[in-house]
């Protein structure tokens, strides 16, 4: 196993990684270290509980949502290589430095409903090239295929960073003695077949028929058309569910449903679906809306939502065929 730290890895890597991009990734990692420290302190740090107001998504914010978001704002706004950034917690994008080479999009704290019960939460991020010296909203409207980097940090029993620059997925674990992320696995691969699926079954009555058909077949197990038993997992934190798939395979689904027909999906395209899709594809999996590749979707708004079906290649292909 390598003892290479994230800083060393970023210095050594060539090809898809520029020194400017390396600097942006390092800044994101530093933010995540601060968030991790405060999560470990929990109630002692006074960051648990509700902030008692809603974010732009209409979701009740936790105190740690606001704290985490502010860490990113403070780090990215002054970063010389960041032209602008956008957060799930903020309605508009925020300008940063003129001639900054990159745009950063982030969900500062995914799964924040898990905070107060001491369960898994995470940070998701996506990096796009800046097209203009002074970015505007149109500059952000790039499909996921334009991403130059994507990743997440999972704050769990051990804190881990999954990262891709478009040439495979590498996994880092946070060393609490070194206070550094250290390489622990390279070239992650998702098996094409699986016996695990993740979906919020409480929405079943709202699903479209193709998804109902697929899940019914999984639940029939050995007695049904699939001829094998499946296990269902649901963490209520996308980072945790995707980390499990990268670690041992599976399929994750947050499909389109009819509960709110005006919303095309639950998960945000630019802060959640695109970065996770890049990681999944780089590990050999597939990421789809059910009808098209997620990373081919051209955004029309910062907070656009999409259906998400991703993971094991054979399973995602089957769900798509049912659509």
Per the annotation, does 110 bind a ligand? yes
- Sign of CA pseudo-dihedral 67, 71, 76, 78: positive
What is the CB-side half-sphere exposure of residue 207 using CA atoms within 13 A? 21
Domains of the chain: 6-186 (3.30.540.10), 196-322 (3.40.190.80)
> What local confidence, expressed as pLDDT, does residue 115 receive?
75
- Cα 73 to its chain centre, rounded Å, is 18
- Would the annotation count 246 as a binding residue? no
Give the confidence band of 45 by pLDDT, cuts at 50, 70, 90: low
Task: Of 129, 170, 132, give the one whose Cα is nearest residue 151.
Answer: 170
Could you give the CA distance from residue 178 to residue 3 in angstroms, rounded to a whole number? 11
Per-residue confidence at 261, pLDDT binned at 50, 70, 90?
A: confident
Asked if residue 68 lies in contact with residue 109, where contact means CB atoms within 8 angstroms, the answer is yes
Confidence of residue 113 (pLDDT cuts 50, 70, 90): confident
DSSP H helices in 13-122: 19-41, 63-77
Whether residue 111 is annotated as binding a ligand: the answer is: yes
Overall average pLDDT of the 101-125 stretch: 90
Pairing of strands 231-232, 196-198: parallel
**pLDDT of residue 54 exceeding 60:** no
Query: Binding site annotation covers 208?
Result: no
- CA dist., res. 92 & res. 282, Å (int): 30
- Is 107 assigned a ligand-binding role in the annotation? yes
pLDDT digits (tens, 9 = 90+) for 187-237: 999 999 999 999 999 999 999 999 999 999 999 999 999 999 999 999 989
31-to-17, 72, 73, 99, 195 alpha-carbon distances in Å: 20, 6, 10, 23, 36
Q: For the chain, what is the mean pLDDT?
A: 93
Backbone angles phi, psi at 216, to 5 degrees: -55, -40
Residue 112, annotated ligand binder?
yes
In the predicted structure, residue 123 carries a pLDDT above the cut 60? yes
**Two structure tokens written together for 24:** 């942006």
pLDDT band at 68 (very low <50, low <70, confident <90, very high): very high
Question: For 34, phi and psi rounded to 5 degrees?
Answer: -65, -40
- Nearest-5° angle of CA 233, CA 235, CA 239? 115
Question: What pLDDT score was predicted for residue 256?
Answer: 92
127-183 per-position pLDDT tens digit = 999 999 999 999 999 999 999 999 999 998 899 999 999 999 999 999 999 999 999
Does the annotation place 200 within a ligand binding site?
yes
Tell me if 194 sits within 8 A of 249, measured CB to CB. Answer: yes
Q: Give the DSSP H or E segment for 262.
A: none
Per-residue confidence (pLDDT) for residue 39, from 0 to 100: 87
- Assess whether pLDDT exceeds 80 at residue 57: no
Report the interhelical angle of 313-322 vs 209-220 (nearest 10°): 130
What's the confidence (pLDDT) of residue 90?
A: 94
pLDDT tens, position by position, 284-314: 999 999 999 999 999 999 999 999 999 999 9
What is the tens place of the pLDDT at every residue in 226-239?
999 999 999 989 99
């Amino acid at each position: 196993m390598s003892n290479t730290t994230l800083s060393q890895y970023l210095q050594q890597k060539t090809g898809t990684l520029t020194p400017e991009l390396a600097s942006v990734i390092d800044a994101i990692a530093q933010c995540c270290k601060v968030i991790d420290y405060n999560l470990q302190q929990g109630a002692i740090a006074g960051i648990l509980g509700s902030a008692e107001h809603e974010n732009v998504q209409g979701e009740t914010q936790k105190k740690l949502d606001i704290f985490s978001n502010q860490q990113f704002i403070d780090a990215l706004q002054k970063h010389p290589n960041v032209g602008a950034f956008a957060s799930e917690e903020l309605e508009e994008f925020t300008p940063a430095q003129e001639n900054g080479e990159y745009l950063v999009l982030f969900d500062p704290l995914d799964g924040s409903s898990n905070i107060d019960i001491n369960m898994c939460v995470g940070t998701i991020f996506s990096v796009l090239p800046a097209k203009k010296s002074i970015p505007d909203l149109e500059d952000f409207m790039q499909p996921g295929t334009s991403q130059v980097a994507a990743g997440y940090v999972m704050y769990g029993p051990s804190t881990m960073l999954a990262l891709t620059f478009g040439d495979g997925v590498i996994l880092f674990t946070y060393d609490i003695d070194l206070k550094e992320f250290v390489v622990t696995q390279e070239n992650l691969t998702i098996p094409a077949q699986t016996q695990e699926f993740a979906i919020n079954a409480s929405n079943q009555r709202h699903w479209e028929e193709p998804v109902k058909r697929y899940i019914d077949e999984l639940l029939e197990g050995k007695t049904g058309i699939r001829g094998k038993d499946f296990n269902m997992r649901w963490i209520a934190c996308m980072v945790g569910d995707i980390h499990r798939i990268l670690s041992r395979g599976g399929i994750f689904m947050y499909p389109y449903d009819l509960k709110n027909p005006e919303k095309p999906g639950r998960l945000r395209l630019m802060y959640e679906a695109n970065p996770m899709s890049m990681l999944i594809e780089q590990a050999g999996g597939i990421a789809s809306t059910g009808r098209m590749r997620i990373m081919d979707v051209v955004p029309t708004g910062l907070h656009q939502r999409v259906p998400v079906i991703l993971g094991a290649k054979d399973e995602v292909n089957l769900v798509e065929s049912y659509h």
